[in-house]
Amino acid sequence: MNGKGLALIPRAEGKQTLKDFKSDQEVRWCPGCGDYAILAAVQSFMPELGIKRENTVFVSGIGCSSRFPYYMNTYGFHSIHGRAPAIATGLAASRPDLSVWVITGDGDALSIGGNHLIHALRRNVNLNILLFNNRIYGLTKGQYSPTSEVGKITKSTPMGSLDRPFNPISLAIGAEAGFVARTLDSDRKHLHSVLREAAAHRGTSLVEIYQNCNIFNDGAFERMKDPATRDAITVRLEHGQPIVFADQAVRLARTGGVEVVPRESVREEEILVHDAHNPDPSLAFALSRLDEPAFTHVPIGVFRSVDRPSYDQLMSEQLEAATAKKGQGSLSDLLHGGDTWRIS
Partner 1 sequence: MTKQVQQLDRVIIRFAGDSGDGMQLTGDRFTAETAEFGNDLSTLPNFPAEIRAPAGTLPGVSSFQLHFADHDILTPGDAPNVLVAMNPAALKANLSDLPRGADIIANSDEFTKRNLAKVGYAESPLEDESLSEWRVHSVPLTSLTVKALEEFEISKKDAERAKNMFALGLLSWLYHRPVEATIKFIESKFAKKPDIAKSNVAAFNAGWNYGETTEAFSVSYEIKPAKLAPGVYRNISGNQALAYGLIAASVQSGLPLFLGSYPITPASDILHELSKHKRFGIRTFQAEDEIAGVGAALGAAFGGALGVTTTSGPGVALKAETVGLAVTTELPLIVVDVQRAGPSTGMPTKTEQTDLLMALYGRNGESPVPVVAPSTPSDCFDIAVEAARIALKYRTPVMLLSDGYLANGSEPWKLPEIEDLPDISVEFTTEPNGEDGTYLPFKRDTETLARPWAVPGTPGLEHRIGGIEKADGTGNISYDPNNHDLMVRLRQAKIDGIDVPDLEVDDPSGSARVLVLGWGSTYGPIAAAIRRVRRSGSEVAQAHLRHLNPFPKNIGEVLKSYDKVLLPEINLGQLALLLRARFLVDIISYNRVRGLPFKAEELAGVIQDVIDSE
* Span of 29-37, 51-59, 119-127, 328-336 interacting with a second copy by CB under 8 A: 119-127
- Short-list 33, 51, 148, 135, CA closest to 99: 51
Q: Tell me if 330 contacts a second copy by CB under 8 A.
A: no
Q: Tell me if 318 contacts a second copy by CB under 8 A.
A: yes
**Helix, strand, or coil (residue 59):** strand
Nearer to ligand TPP, 157 or 316 (CB): 157
Q: Tell me if 145 contacts ligand TPP by CB under 6 A.
A: yes
**Helix, strand, or coil (residue 318):** helix
Q: Tell me if 315 contacts ligand SF4 by CB under 6 A.
A: no
Write down the least CB distance from residue 272 to a second copy, Å.
Answer: 8
For the sheet containing 258-262, what is the strand order? 244-245, 248-252, 258-262
H/E stretch holding 123 reads helix 114-123
Q: Tell me if 107 contacts ligand TPP by CB under 6 A.
A: yes
Pair 93, 311: CB distance under 8 Å: yes
Q: Which of residues 159-188 bind a second copy (CB under 8 A)?
A: 159-160, 162-167, 170-176
For the stretch 248-274, what's the b/e string if a residue is b when 16 or more beta carbons lie within 10 angstroms of its beta carbon?
Answer: bbbbeeeeeebebeebeebeeeebbeb
Size of the site for partner 1 (CB under 8 A): 88
Radius of gyration of the chain (CA): 22
Residue 300's binding partner among partner 1, ligand SF4, a second copy, none (Cβ under 5 to 8 angstroms by kind) is none
Write down the least CB distance from residue 24 to partner 1, Å.
Answer: 9
Nearer to ligand TPP, 5 or 82 (CB): 82
Write down the least CB distance from residue 298 to ligand TPP, Å.
Answer: 19
Measured CA angle at 299 (ends 157, 45), to 5 deg: 95
Q: Tell me if 14 contacts partner 1 by CB under 8 A.
A: no
What is the full DSSP assignment across 214-271? TTTSTTTTHHHHSTTTHHHHEEEE-TTSB-EETTEEEEE-TTSSEEEEEGGGS-GGGS
Q: Which residues pair with 252 in a beta bridge?
A: 258
Write down the least CB distance from residue 285 to a second copy, Å.
Answer: 5
Which residues here bind ligand TPP, judged by CB under 6 A?
62-65, 81, 105-108, 132, 134, 136-140, 145
Which residues here bind a second copy, judged by CB under 8 A?
111-115, 118-119, 122-124, 146, 159-160, 162-167, 170-176, 252-258, 272, 275, 278, 280-286, 289, 292, 308, 311, 314-315, 318, 321-322
